[in-house]
């Protein structure tokens, strides 16, 4: 598969890549200035990684216009990603400078920035704006508070809910608590209860609480509680037991301007069961977050966010992950999986396959990062060409894929979904014969069989052919390149029908320089496309080049000298009927932003699988 794996370059605010996470030491207190302090604490520790936080406080009587915190880590300890500060290093010396929007501090005010780190050392030799850091704000060794208990909800009405929780602990004492609704702070209280008002009837919310100590150090948020207010109406979740899964692309928030809220405004959120968030990267044999800005740092205004609440600069989580958290609060039936790999990043799996256990552990550390652990319900591995050639050639061997999926299931256990997107090459001796998909199926909940991209203008002169044929037909350019043959081959390898999802592309592939309407014509190259030649979204093609015929269960369109193939609501209905007749577990699609503003393709999948 080609198109669906080309990730546009994302923006990033961090100067450092997100690396594999390993443990750090206990909290440390840095050193002092006459007018300001800088204190450090380890706020998260999940065994295979940690989160650290620096807090700068103006203890003087005049305003600070900027701040720079410097410290030394011992060799082997490093910052791997950071937020709310620009962090650089020279050897073992680290420097953090304020962002343009958080450098000014009035007397008594404070600001914090955080980071993920690797290694086993503590910060030392701290300097704040060139001076020492311990101006008397806290006591050396002061640790951040623990996480408070999971809130208990009571007295739920149409517009309010009472929350109570067990107290956090701290070596110097708790000052107050922040109450978080859908990840955003809605109140600060001194006790261990709070009544949230002004809510919407019949609406789902997610609440958690974090504590602050007497030195204004904020601890980690505790476990979240889902609350649904009484009254109101909401769209019912999809009926039946079939999986209806869509891919949401990390980079779509840029040029495509497609955000999680679009799933709500299009009506698609009420018609799906699962979302694959694509893609995490695979580097150095480990899972990593790819575009950290889009994933968890991009700020959303109230009108852009699912909850209708604007992000604040100091909230623990922003970006797509926070929006997905809000979506799950609104639509509790939706499960979200973090998908790693894709066409572009599948080359990284060769190193991962050399040590499957280490790879699986790294993936779980990313999926269970405490900042977003409640967002993800599982992991999807998009290794597109194990023991075969794609963007690169893999020589891991026929058992590598099975070994990798076995390690992931062992690491994630039965409480997480473990799935894989796999090739749909049903030809004799093709990619489906290169790896042990049958043996690996015992470790997965399902396979996303990528039954599209069979034909396209990557063969510039044609022949024209539907890129997602359901069945074979007379004149098909390659035997075995169709959905029915791929599904049949997987079944013959022992994969249960219920573990197979049929793939649908929400886009078309097309050629130009074509002189005949029927499939099989010659061409001179790819047809023009909005983002890439030879590729166009369904939402554009339905108007710019309407379908003129169907073949092998897929629509095609001839307009001018251009020839396109794509699925329509009508052909999707036929494919869903076929999927049910085969006993398949459901369907999935690439990807949400190709659909119309009212989600007509998602609606066709939902209706067809009822």
| 216: CATH | 2.60.40.10
Q: Do 213 and 360 lie in a common domain?
A: no
* Catalytically annotated residue among 384, 536, 591, 600: 384
Helix (H, G, I), strand (E, B) or coil at 212: strand
User: Do 285 and 402 lie in a common domain?
Assistant: yes
Query: Is residue 17, in this structure, part of any structural domain at all?
Result: no
Rg (CA), the chain: 26
pLDDT score, position 490: 97
- Indicate whether 211 and 254 sit together in one domain: no
Residue 427: helix, strand or coil by DSSP? coil
Pick the last residue of a domain from 228, 249, 278. Answer: 228
pTM: 0.67
**Residues 101-118, mean pLDDT to the nearest whole number:** 89
Listed in sequence order, the residues at least 6 apart from 605 whose beta carbon sits closer than 8 Å to its beta carbon are 244, 271, 504, 572, 576, 587, 589
Which of the residue ranges 175-189, 282-296, 312-326, 554-568 would you say has the lowest mean pLDDT?
175-189
Task: Determine, yes or no, domain membership for 452.
Answer: yes
Q: Are 222 and 281 within one domain? A: no
For the record, the structure tokens of 58 come out as 């103006």
Q: Do 309 and 385 have their domain in common?
A: yes
Length of the chain: 610
In this predicted structure, what is the pLDDT of residue 541?
98
Q: What percent of the chain has pLDDT over 70?
A: 91
What pLDDT does 570 receive? 97
- Here the tokens at position 443 are 């470790």
For residues 173 and 250, membership in a common domain is answered with no
Domain coverage including residue 373: 237-505+567-608
Range 483-499 average pLDDT: 97
Give per-residue pLDDT as tens, 426-474.
999 999 999 999 999 999 999 999 999 999 999 999 999 999 999 999 9
| Assigned domain for 528 exists | no
Note whether residue 421 is domain-resident: yes
Q: What's the whole-number mean pLDDT along residues 583-591?
A: 97
State CA 431 to chain mean position distance: 27
Closest of 427, 412, 581, 579 to residue 500, by C-alpha: 579
Residues 203 and 330 in one domain: no
Q: What is the pLDDT of residue 171?
A: 83
Can you tell me the distance from the alpha carbon of 524 to that of 154, in angstroms, rounded to the nearest whole number?
67
Place of tokens 């379908």: 547
Q: What is the pLDDT of residues 370-426, one digit of tens each?
A: 999 999 999 999 999 999 999 999 999 999 999 999 999 999 999 999 999 999 999
Confidence class for position 238, pLDDT limits 50, 70, 90: low
Domain count, the chain: 2
| 384 is annotated as an active-site residue | yes
If 0-12 CB within 10 Å is exposed, 13-18 middle and 19+ buried, where does residue 348 land? buried
Residue 587 and residue 273 in contact, taking contact as beta carbons nearer than 8 Å: no
In 3D space, the residue among 398, 397, 360 whose CA is nearest the CA of residue 378 turns out to be 360
Report yes or no: 531 and 478 within 8 Å, Cβ to Cβ.
Answer: no
Residue in 221, 229, 222 with CA at minimum distance from that of residue 329: 229
The C-alpha atoms of residue 371 and residue 261 are separated, in whole angstroms, by: 20
Instruction: Tell which phi-psi region holds residue 182, choosing left (phi > 0), alpha (psi between -120 and 50) or beta.
Output: left
Whether residues 188 and 306 fall in one domain = no
Confidence of residue 62 (pLDDT cuts 50, 70, 90): confident
pLDDT of residue 609: 95
Structure tokens at 564: 């396109």
Q: Do 372 and 286 share a domain, yes or no?
A: yes
Query: DSSP state, 17?
Result: -
């Amino acid at each position: 598969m080609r198109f669906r794996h080309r990730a546009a370059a994302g923006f990033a605010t961090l100067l450092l890549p997100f690396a594999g996470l390993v443990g750090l030491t206990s909290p440390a207190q840095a050193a002092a200035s006459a007018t300001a302090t800088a204190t450090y604490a380890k706020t998260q520790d999940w065994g295979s990684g940690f989160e650290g936080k620096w807090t700068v406080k103006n203890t003087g009587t005049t305003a600070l216009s900027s701040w720079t915190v410097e410290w030394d880590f011992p060799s082997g300890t490093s910052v791997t990603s950071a937020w709310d500060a620009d962090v650089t290093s020279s050897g073992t010396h680290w420097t953090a400078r304020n962002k343009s929007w958080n450098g000014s501090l009035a007397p008594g005010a404070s600001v914090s920035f955080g980071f993920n780190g690797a290694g086993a050392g503590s910060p030392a030799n701290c300097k704040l704006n060139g001076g020492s850091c311990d101006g008397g704000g806290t006591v050396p060794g002061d640790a951040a508070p623990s996480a408070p208990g999971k809130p208990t909800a009571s007295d739920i009405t149409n517009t309010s809910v009472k929350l109570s929780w067990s107290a956090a602990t701290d070596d110097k004492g708790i000052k107050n608590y922040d109450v978080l609704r859908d990840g955003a702070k809605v109140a600060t209280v001194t006790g261990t209860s709070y009544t949230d008002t002004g809510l919407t009837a019949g609406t789902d919310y997610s609440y958690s609480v974090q504590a602050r100590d007497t030195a204004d150090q904020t601890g980690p948020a505790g476990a979240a509680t889902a609350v649904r207010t009484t009254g109101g109406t909401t769209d019912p979740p999809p009926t039946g037991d079939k999986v209806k899964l869509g891919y949401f692309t990390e980079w779509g928030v840029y040029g495509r301007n497609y955000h999680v809220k679009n799933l709500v405004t299009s009506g698609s959120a009420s018609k799906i069961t699962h979302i694959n968030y694509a893609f995490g990267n695979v580097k150095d044999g480990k899972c990593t977050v790819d575009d950290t800005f889009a994933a968890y740092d991009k700020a959303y205004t109230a009108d852009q966010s699912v909850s209708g609440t604007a992000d604040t600069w100091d909230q623990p989580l922003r970006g797509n992950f926070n929006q997905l958290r809000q979506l799950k609060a609104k639509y509790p039936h939706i499960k979200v999986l973090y998908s790693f790999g894709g066409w572009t990043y599948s080359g990284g799996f060769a190193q991962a396959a050399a040590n499957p256990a280490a790879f699986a552990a790294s993936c779980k550390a990313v999926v269970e990062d405490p900042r977003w652990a409640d967002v993800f319900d599982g992991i999807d591995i998009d290794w597109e060409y194990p023991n075969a050639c794609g963007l690169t050639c893999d020589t891991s061997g026929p058992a590598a894929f099975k070994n990798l999926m076995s390690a992931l299931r062992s690491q994630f256990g039965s409480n997480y979904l473990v799935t894989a997107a796999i090739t749909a090459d049903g030809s004799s001796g093709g990619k489906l014969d290169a790896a042990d998909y049958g043996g690996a199926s015992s470790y997965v909940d399902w396979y996303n069989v990528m039954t599209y991209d069979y034909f396209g203008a990557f063969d510039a002169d044609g022949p024209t052919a539907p890129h997602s044929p359901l069945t074979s037909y007379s004149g098909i350019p390659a035997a075995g390149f169709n959905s029915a043959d791929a599904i049949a081959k997987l079944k013959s390898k022992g994969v249960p029908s219920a573990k197979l999802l049929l793939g649908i592309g929400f886009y078309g592939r097309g050629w130009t320089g074509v002189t005949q309407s029927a499939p099989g014509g010659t061409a001179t190259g790819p047809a023009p496309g909005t983002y890439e030649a030879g590729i166009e979204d369904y939402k554009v093609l339905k108007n710019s080049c309407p379908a003129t015929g169907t073949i092998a269960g897929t629509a095609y369109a001839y307009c001018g000298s251009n020839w396109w193939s794509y699925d329509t609501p009508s052909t999707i209905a036929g494919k869903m009927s076929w999927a049910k007749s085969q006993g398949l577990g459901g369907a999935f699609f690439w990807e949400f932003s190709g659909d119309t503003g009212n989600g007509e393709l998602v609606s066709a999948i939902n209706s067809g699988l009822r």
